[in-house]
Amino acid sequence: MASRNPACLLLLPLLLACGVRRPARVPKEAVCLGPKDGGVWVLVGARQDGRWPVRVWDRDGALKADSAFVLRGMARVSIEAHEPAAWDGRQLALKDGSLLVPAP
């Protein structure tokens, strides 16, 4: 019998959009960004002292970034899991046009 858990139904489009399997070392809260042949997994933690902890993994699960980032753009208290839009190897673009950049 099929699962009737609404959370499963909400996650299904995200899993299909990503097009790749999540490596075991990437937390389930991380979101996939970019094409399946060159994208990344991203996890933005809770804001602490004006900084956000950001972790980025490649498609194979190798950690590429793990440090504090600061916001450039709209002031905000939190960043939701669906807001990251793109990773360029150094900074994280959010859907509203704001950027998370490495903290000085």
Q: Per-residue pLDDT tens for 19-37?
A: 778 999 999 999 999 987 7
pLDDT of residue 35: 87
| Residue 49 within any structural domain of the chain | yes
Which pTM does this prediction carry?
A: 0.79
pLDDT (mean) for 81-85: 93
pLDDT in tens, 7-19: 333 333 444 446 7
Q: Is residue 71 part of a domain?
A: yes
Contact 79, 44 (CB under 8 A): yes
Task: Please tell me the distance from the alpha carbon of residue 38 to that of residue 52, in angstroms, as a whole number.
Answer: 24
pLDDT value at 4 more than 70: no
Is 81 within a domain?
yes
Q: Kindly state whether residue 15 falls inside one of the protein's structural domains.
A: yes
Q: Provide the residue range defining the domain that includes 39.
A: 6-102
Query: Looking at the domain assignment, is residue 67 inside a domain?
Result: yes
99 vs 6, higher pLDDT = 99
Residue 36 domain-assigned (yes or no):
yes
Would you say residue 1 lies in a domain? no
Structurally, how many domains does the chain consist of?
Answer: 1
Residue 1 has pLDDT above 50, yes or no: no
- Residue 90, classed as helix, strand or coil, is coil
